[in-house]
Amino acid sequence: EIVLTQSPGTLSLSPGERATLSCRASQIVRSSYLAWYQQKPGQAPRLLIFGASSRATGVPDRFSGSGSGTDFTLTISRLEPEDSAVFYCQQYGDSPFTFGQGTRLEI
């Protein structure tokens, strides 16, 4: 089973700053099958990024994904207060399709 480790656990930043969230896999993620989700309190997760770098429909271009192999990054430029949430990465290259433990972003 591929273990995804996200860092940092919590990130506190100010509006307008840039956030960099990391997701490291215990094995190579096949074909960059890596997604990112945002979950706000009391809400279901929302897909942000798939295929490591493709934005989902309706996701602002402030959100971008990069990486390959075992190291992936979600970058949020020009932070806004509504970006406060927990962010999860998920690999879907090898079953079971695992999630990281999450990074809490506080604005």
**72 sits near other proteins (criterion: CB under 8 A):** no
Instruction: Identify each DSSP E strand in 13-57 by its residue range.
Output: 19-25, 34-39, 46-50, 54-55
Asked if residue 20 binds other proteins (CB under 8 A), the reply is: no
Q: Distance between CA atoms of 13 and 94, rounded to whole angstroms?
A: 34
Distance from C-alpha of 98 to C-alpha of 78, rounded to nearest angstrom: 29
- Binding segment (CB under 8 A) for other proteins, from list 16-24, 64-72, 73-81, 93-101: 93-101
Work out how close the CB of 16 gets to other proteins at its nearest, in angstroms, rounded to a whole number. 28
| Cα dihedral 91, 35, 30, 19 sign | negative
Size of the site for other proteins (CB under 8 A): 26
Distance CA 71, CA 46 (A): 22
Residue among 7, 18, 40, 97 that touches other proteins (CB under 8 A): 97
Residues in touch with other proteins (CB under 8 A): 1, 30-31, 33, 35, 37, 39, 44-47, 50-51, 56, 88, 90, 92-93, 95-102
